[in-house]
Amino acid sequence: MDVPAVDFQSFEGPLAQRGIGVIAPFDLALERELWRWVPLEVSLHLARTPYEPVPVSMEMAHLVSNAQHLAAATRDVLHVEPEVVAYLCTSGSFVAGVDAEHTLRKVICDAGAPDAVTTSGALAEVLELLDVGRVSVLTPYDADLTGKLHDFLAELGVRTVSSDHLGLGGGIWKVSYATIAERILAADHGDAEAIFVSCTNLPTYDLIDPLEQTLGKPVLTANQLTMWACLQRMGLPIVGPGSWLRAPGQAEDLGEAG
């Protein structure tokens, strides 16, 4: 049997990859959703914060944003040469306020990252980009931790006009799309210019477009914002749902925000 000759020299190799380092809380279960937000030439390299035997709460938010842990996790991904390192945690990046969010990015850069993003920092960038001053909020947290998000938004000059929370202490990734959609619709307010759905462990990808069509306003979600901020720094477009992502000139408008 003749085997056809193959010219292996004609293969240029796999598509050149550009990396994003992702520091995730120990309980993240939505890696697959993260990959849906990035183009084919982007690879995600994940590191996790150490396990903490506490429920989702104010205490956990402080534990998973420990500066020493973030620095160590950053160093764990640097050998694959990411262009930016993201701290993928909403509560951990808003729980201590705006100045503390800035400090978290500095910790990551001081550990050697070329650039740094946090989920709450990305939220701040997009609210400024869209000139949003009033939001509705849905979180999976308890009332106390949700209140810290309201405080963070207030520091940004953004008013929370309505809010709802699921009160979950764990298993956030198990919440059904039907439940999440129902609670987002209920959390909306006529005065809100956008809705923010907090937590990188709450599945939202397939809900964004139909909810925006129903509500007539942007539905901003944690993983969407984080990946957008990373790709913005890399000069790449985000893929995935969200009407504001397709607005003409939105990338240029943000300029050098960081």
C-alpha dist (Å) from residue 105 to 98, 102, 194, 234, 242? 11, 5, 25, 17, 26
Token reading at 250: 């939105």
Residue 122's DSSP bridge partners are none
Token reading at 47: 């590191």
25-83 pLDDT per residue, tens: 999 999 999 999 999 999 999 999 999 999 999 999 999 999 999 999 999 999 999 99
C-alpha dist (Å) from residue 112 to 5, 47, 106? 47, 15, 10
Token reading at 246: 């397709």
Token reading at 232: 């913005």
Contact assessment for residue 117 and residue 226, using Cβ atoms and an 8 Å cutoff: yes
pLDDT for residue 258 is more than 60: no
Please give the average per-residue pLDDT across 99-112, as a whole number. 98
Query: What is the spatial distance between Cα 155 and Cα 120, in angstroms, rounded to a whole number?
Result: 12
Query: What is the spatial distance between Cα 246 and Cα 48, in angstroms, rounded to a whole number?
Result: 32
57-71 pLDDT per residue, tens: 999 999 999 999 999
Q: What is the pLDDT of residue 247?
A: 62
CA 66 to chain CA centroid, Å, is 18
Please give the average per-residue pLDDT across 103-119, as a whole number. 98
198-243 pLDDT per residue, tens: 999 999 999 999 999 999 999 999 999 999 999 999 999 888 999 9
H-run or E-run covering 43: strand 42-48
Kind of pairing between the strands at 134-139 and 84-87: unpaired
H-run or E-run covering 165: strand 159-165
